[in-house]
Amino acid sequence: MLKVAGYSGQGFSPRGEKGRYVLPPAFRKAIAPADTDPRVLCLAKHDRWNCLTGFGLDRTATFDSLLEREEDNAVKLGKEFDRELRSIQLWTFSEVPFDASGRFVLPDHLAELCSIEKGICVLGGGQFFTLWSPEQLYAMDPAWDGQKAVCRKLEADAAAKGKGK
């Protein structure tokens, strides 16, 4: 099985029939590189941003080392670290199946949590990727201008493609 070095790239999916979205090919291939791999998208609320994180089940194997690293960093910086809370944040994810075309249904509680209604912008982020409501991404500070521009372009392309149907 191909081991994922990280999630990179971007994509946009308008909300489709029956409330379905489509996971971009690069991301679904990273989660399930072979036909025999489980097509399970893990989704959770990001701990700082108003978006979702997405990843494959294999990422859970890194959670203990991630907790150790975050705790060590907090100690070095003289900051408090609530290991139990952070562990709960990491392990509270929804397992969402997707089909061979990448179609999946976003659970209502996650859509409401991050104000996702009409479309999702997907941005690669290394160990995970983020799924944004365009409006929430556009509200981010100027450090996000490159990602905002990508999302605007992808959203416009999707709208133009939708009008062509």
User: Which comes out higher in pLDDT, residue 135 or 37?
Assistant: 135
Dist CA 63 CA 51 (whole Å):
20
pLDDT at 11 over 70: yes
Render pLDDT for 122-150 as a digit per residue (tens, 0 to 9).
Answer: 999 899 999 999 999 999 999 999 999 99
Integer angstrom CA distances of residue 155 from 54, 90, 140, 141: 20, 29, 17, 19
Domains with residue ranges and CATH for the chain? 10-58+91-163 (3.40.1550.20)
Tell me the average pLDDT across 13-42.
91
pLDDT at 2 over 50: no
Residue whose pair of structure tokens reads 């605007």 in the numeric block: 152
The pTM assigned to this predicted structure is 0.87
- Find the length of the chain: 165
Instruction: Examine the pLDDT at 1 and tell me if it is beyond 80.
Output: no
